[in-house]
Amino acid sequence: MSSIKRKKLTPVQQQYQDFAHAREPQRPLVTNCLRAFITGGIICTIGQGIQLFFMTYFNFDEKTAGDPTAAILILFSVILTSLGLYDHIAQWGGAGSAVPVTGFANTIASASLDHKSEGFVLGVGGNMFKIAGPVIVFGVFSAFIVAIVKVIITSLGGM
């Protein structure tokens, strides 16, 4: 709680806040970090294996193997989410399961599954993009800004 909010509390409220804070269970920070590291590492290792598969058996190079690898990881994530297994992985691994592309696919798929009873357009489509929409807009806007900066820098360098 911020110090500004603490100043507005009455003495009884402050006493209760201190009481509650003293009894709040401590989070196992090192264990959580280790689990996130292991989970994210396993997901990325699986992705690397898929990329090597495309490079070995389909003659992709390192750059072109990235797109089908991401697509396969997204597909695996959606399948595991629909079976209810990705939630168990995320519960154990925490942020390690949210950082790779699979975490983003999980959020979209779980939002779709939660609202499928409302119909495909308003339920699945509308609620799926409540989560994905801001991320997509931020990505497109950031790419636009980076492109403008690159154009300005290259045009200044050519002078």
> What is the per-residue pLDDT across 88-139, written as a single tens digit (0 to 9) for each?
999 999 999 987 789 888 888 887 777 777 777 777 777 777 777 787 888 8
| Residue 149: inside a domain | no
Judge whether 108 and 132 are in contact, CB under 8 Å. Answer: yes
Q: Which of 85, 83, 128, 123 is nearest to 105 (CA)?
A: 128
| Residue 132: inside a domain | no
Q: What is the DSSP string of 68-96?
A: HHHHHHHHHHHHHHHTT-HHHHHHHHGGG
Which residues, at least 6 apart from 129, have a Cβ–Cβ distance to it below 8 Å?
Answer: 136
| Residue 21: inside a domain | no
| Residue 153: inside a domain | no
How many helices (H) does the chain have, and how many strands (E)? 7, 0
Structural domain containing residue 51: 27-114
Cα-Cα-Cα-Cα dihedral sign, residues 58, 64, 66, 67: negative
| Residue 48: inside a domain | yes
Which pLDDT band holds residue 8 (cuts at 50, 70, 90)? confident
Which pLDDT band holds residue 7 (cuts at 50, 70, 90)? low
How much is the pTM? 0.70
| Residue 129: inside a domain | no
| Residue 64: inside a domain | yes
Judge whether 97 and 86 are in contact, CB under 8 Å. Answer: yes
DSSP state of 122: I
Which residue carries 């609202």 as its tokens? 115
| Residue 131: inside a domain | no
Give the pLDDT score at 80.
95
